[in-house]
């Protein structure tokens, strides 16, 4: 006879040889009531938008950063203190050529910087006469001290067709002087291009040989200048077309520098400036056509204002760049 042990056994126990049974087989009425509470705002947002819930905040941050970058100026250098523009000189209508290349000591072998890059065509020789580009512009700047009027001229014999025509040259001049990073950042100054009448100065694009005649060529480097006796800002066309290797910037930035630097002489910034902060932005009144390193300029003009101190700046076309 088989004796069965009737002692209490643990729930779900199956004797050897019997099929296993679940410890608990819940009936439908034993199931917990479903969660009826409404999910929180964050949970509802994630449930509704899925992966976009994570992407949207990231895209928002990126959009804000792009907007800030646009306000500051895309691609502009942003490190270092603001460059120095120098001191205004006493105004004189008959101060001769300002910003001409230094005479140096005549010994330039192996020391020349400011070489001319390869590039487009330019006029080697012009007629030595000028024609004014028609048109004017609204006044820009507060002009609390002086409103400078100007015209834009092109030397006869200089073909600007590959540059977009005379109007494109004039538009570049207008846009540069109207930029808040240009001289109008200083509330003392204002500019207006006039179509008729006598301007304070004429901004003129000149052939290579005419520029050398007007600005000097003691140091054999093409450059621009301001002829105060004639009231003419002389912009070298060869530099307008080619730029400068030493400038190490794009051609548009060089043209902005060319305009701002020579107009700076015209409004009273007669002195050139050295690189002030190693690795910083070059002052716009530095002779960046010759170089953005003080040693390069000092080698050309040992008696000049630029010291041989090893400082090297980065190109900069503006008197008041955004920092």
How much of the chain is helix, strand and coil, in % rounded to 5?
A: 30, 10, 60
Does 12 map to a domain? no
Does an H or E element contain 151, and which? strand 146-155
Does 220 map to a domain? yes
Q: State whether 110 and 175 are in the same domain.
A: yes
Does 11 map to a domain? no
Does 313 map to a domain? no
Q: Judge whether 323 and 264 are in contact, CB under 8 Å.
A: no
Please state the separation of Cα 125 from the chain's center in Å. Answer: 33
* E strands in 182-315: 189-193, 201-206, 225-227, 232-236
Residues in the chain with pLDDT values less than 50 = 1-37, 45-46, 49, 51-79, 105, 108-111
Does 305 map to a domain? no
Q: State whether 67 and 206 are in the same domain.
A: no
Q: Judge whether 284 and 261 are in contact, CB under 8 Å.
A: yes
- DSSP lists the bridge partners of residue 202 as 151, 232
pLDDT in tens, 154-163: 999 999 999 9
Please state the separation of Cα 103 from the chain's center in Å. Answer: 32
Q: State whether 174 and 234 are in the same domain.
A: yes
Q: State whether 235 and 193 are in the same domain.
A: yes
Q: How many structural domains are present in the chain? A: 2
Does 2 map to a domain? no
- pLDDT for the residue 87: 85
Distance CA 253, CA 77 (A): 13
Does 172 map to a domain? yes
HSE at residue 41, side-chain half, CA atoms within 13 A, is: 0
Q: State whether 88 and 66 are in the same domain.
A: no
pLDDT in tens, 30-75: 444 444 445 555 555 445 545 444 444 443 433 333 333 333 334 4
Q: State whether 111 and 61 are in the same domain.
A: no
**The tokens 């608990």 sit on which residue?**
24
Q: State whether 249 and 167 are in the same domain.
A: yes
Burial of 2 from C-beta contacts in 10 A (0-12 / 13-18 / 19+):
exposed
Q: Judge whether 281 and 275 are in contact, CB under 8 Å.
A: no
233: region left, alpha or beta (phi > 0 left; psi from -120 to 50 alpha): beta
Q: State whether 61 and 145 are in the same domain.
A: no
Residues 6+ apart with CB under 8 A from 276: 81, 83, 84, 283, 311, 313
Picking from 52, 71, 90, the residue at the C-terminal end of a domain is 71
Does 35 map to a domain? no
Distance CA 255, CA 119 (A): 14
Distance CA 1, CA 304 (A): 127
- pLDDT for the residue 217: 86
Q: Judge whether 250 and 141 are in contact, CB under 8 Å.
A: no
Q: State whether 55 and 134 are in the same domain.
A: no
H helical segments located in the chain: 41-49, 52-72, 166-178, 208-215, 237-242, 251-267, 294-300
- pLDDT for the residue 221: 87
Q: Which domain holds residue 290?
A: 82-300
Q: State whether 222 and 141 are in the same domain.
A: yes
Q: State whether 137 and 162 are in the same domain.
A: yes
Helix (DSSP H) and strand (DSSP E) numbers for the chain:
7, 7
Q: State whether 50 and 147 are in the same domain.
A: no
| 3 state DSSP class of 216 | coil
């Amino acid at each position: 006879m088989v004796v069965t042990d009737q002692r209490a056994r643990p729930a779900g126990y199956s004797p050897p040889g019997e099929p296993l049974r679940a410890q608990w087989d819940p009936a439908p009425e034993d199931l917990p009531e479903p969660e009826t509470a409404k999910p929180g705002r964050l949970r509802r947002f994630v449930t509704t938008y899925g992966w976009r819930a994570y992407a949207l905040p990231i895209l928002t941050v990126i959009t804000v950063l792009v907007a800030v970058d646009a306000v500051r100026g895309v691609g502009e250098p942003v490190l270092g203190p603001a460059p120095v523009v120098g001191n205004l000189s006493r105004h004189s209508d008959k101060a001769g050529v300002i910003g001409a290349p230094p005479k140096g000591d005549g010994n330039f072998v192996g020391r020349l910087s400011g070489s001319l890059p390869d590039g487009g065509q330019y006029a080697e020789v012009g007629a030595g006469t000028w024609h004014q580009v028609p048109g004017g512009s609204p006044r820009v700047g507060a002009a609390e001290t002086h409103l400078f009027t100007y015209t834009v001229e092109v030397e006869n014999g200089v073909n600007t067709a590959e540059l977009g025509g005379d109007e494109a040259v004039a538009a570049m001049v207008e846009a540069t002087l109207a930029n808040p990073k240009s001289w109008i950042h200083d509330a003392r100054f204002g500019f207006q291009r006039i179509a008729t009448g006598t301007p304070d100065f004429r901004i003129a694009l000149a052939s290579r040989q005419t520029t050398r005649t007007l600005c000097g060529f003691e140091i054999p480097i093409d450059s621009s200048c301001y002829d105060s006796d004639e009231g003419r800002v002389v912009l070298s066309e060869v530099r307008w077309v080619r730029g400068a290797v030493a400038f190490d910037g794009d051609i548009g930035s060089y043209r902005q520098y060319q305009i701002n630097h020579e107009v700076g002489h015209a409004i009273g910034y007669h002195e050139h400036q050295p690189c002030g902060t190693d690795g910083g932005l070059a002052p716009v009144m530095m002779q960046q056509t010759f170089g953005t390193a003080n040693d390069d300029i000092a080698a050309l003009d040992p008696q000049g204002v630029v010291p041989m101190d090893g400082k090297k700046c980065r190109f900069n076309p503006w008197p008041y760049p955004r920092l």
